[in-house]
Amino acid sequence: MKVLVINAGSSSLKYQLIDMDGEVLLAKGLCERIGIDGHLKHTPLVGGKPVFNEDVPMPTHSEAIAAVIDKLTSEEYGVVSSMKEIDAVGHRVVHGGEKFASSVLITDDVMEAIHECIPFAPLHNPANITGINACKAVMGNDVPMVAVFDTAFHQTMPPKAYMYAVPYNYYKKDGVRRYGFHGTSHRYVSSRCAELMGKPIEELKIISCHMGNGSSICAVDGGKSVDTSMGFTPLVGLPMGTRAGDLDAGVIQYLMHKDGIGVDEMLNILNKKSGVLGVSGVSSDFRDLDMAAADGNDRAQLALDMFAYWVAKVAGSYVAAMNGVDAIVFTAGVGENSKSMRSAISEYFKYLGVEIDEEANSKRGEDICISTPDSKVKVFVIPTNEELVIARDTKAIAG
């Protein structure tokens, strides 16, 4: 069975074609500047075909999907002989609200429910819907499509973890609560962690640290998310590349009044100009911060120190929430690549009996245990693979 995985943004669209017999990645690619002009980078990974990397007109997502299908099936760049070989499509959908606790086959009712969640994710869900509709337009209604939600994994959180201490009616009437994001990633790395430990996930308490441009931490108790650091939106929790993370709401009122800033501009500052970029004034990219800090830039060092401190602080609160922890997992861009950040965070876990094997911590690109055999809590680096989870769910539902 071959599954096409689609992750549609407002002006971009990432895809992978995976042969589920053996879970072989056949091709991957990225459409950019959809609605502006259009560019496609298509990378075939089998058959020794060349990479296609050129401008392609993409007034809408439909032309983008058509270009993807064209390349996937073409003589020169293709990995399948025709569209008929694509058995199902799995779509990443950011927000499923309280309606979806797992992945689902996309029906008209499901589309309506995804629409209803637009107010919770005004930037993401419309793009996801556009991606689904574009696929239907190009591929027809006979190819089954599955929605995999970023929020679904966190639907197991208990009310004491997901409720905000505001008037209850805001939850009842308006759905104001913690939803959490990166669920597909936390689900993947926690189950992979259990596999690597050779234990049933039901018996394990795992803290999953997804640290990329956007970052979140998740407490996974017995395979279920019981708390996570992102909230009603992906703005809160840790300081991120450009997002502020947790912040006293009083600061917002103070700055808006003092500087005469409107709510949209304020939110733009908190989403795009804050985080490690805002603190350092250097970059949102941790590689740039490492270099600047090594050159003696104090604010770059402060941003790195704050990030490590926040990861440790939130993870520590999850040790309390779960009454213990068996393993800590690092994943995503920073988690998978930054040895220095992993070391800095792990320093805070000495009270748990964590000991890092620095040689293992220097390795890259593989699932690896980076704690010593004596370490009381195991620490892993596990490259995340959200596309594979989407493809597996799609196979399970549509196969």
- Enumerate the active-site residues: 150
Distance (Å, whole) CA 105 – CA 352:
43
- Is the alpha carbon torsion for 285, 290, 295, 296 positive or negative? positive
* Shortest reach from residue 14's CB to ligand ADP, in Å: 10
- Single out the residue of 231, 214, 229, 234 nearest to residue 318, CA to CA: 229
Among the listed ranges 151-159, 208-216, 252-260, 293-301, the one in contact with ligand ADP (CB under 6 A) is 208-216
Residue nearest to ligand ADP (CB): 333
User: Residue 2 carries which DSSP code?
Assistant: E
- Residue 103 tokens read as 């992945």
Distances (CA, A) of 140 to 12, 61, 87, 222, 264: 22, 15, 12, 40, 39
- Strand-pairing partners, residue 24, are 19
* Shortest reach from residue 148's CB to ligand ADP, in Å: 16
Q: Is there binding between residue 8 and ligand ADP (CB under 6 A)?
A: no
* Shortest reach from residue 355's CB to ligand ADP, in Å: 23
* Shortest reach from residue 386's CB to ligand ADP, in Å: 9
- Residue 17 tokens read as 């074609």
- Residue 348 tokens read as 């805070």
Using CB under 6 A, which of 183, 231, 241, 245 touches ligand ADP?
A: 241
State the number of binding residues for ligand ADP (CB under 6 A).
12
Using CB under 6 A, which of 90, 212, 234, 278 touches ligand ADP?
A: 212
DSSP annotation string for 377-390: SEEEE----HHHHH
Using CB under 6 A, which of 9, 214, 231, 245 touches ligand ADP?
A: 214
Using CB under 6 A, which of 84, 287, 313, 376 touches ligand ADP?
A: 287
Q: What are phi and psi of 55, to 5 degrees?
A: -70, 135
Q: Is there binding between residue 285 and ligand ADP (CB under 6 A)?
A: yes
Distance (Å, whole) CA 375 – CA 325:
12
Site for ligand ADP in 288-347 (CB under 6 A): 332-334, 337-338
CB nearer ligand ADP, residue 183 or residue 214: 214
CB nearer ligand ADP, residue 90 or residue 241: 241
Where does this chain bind ligand ADP (CB under 6 A)?
Answer: 212-214, 241, 285-287, 332-334, 337-338
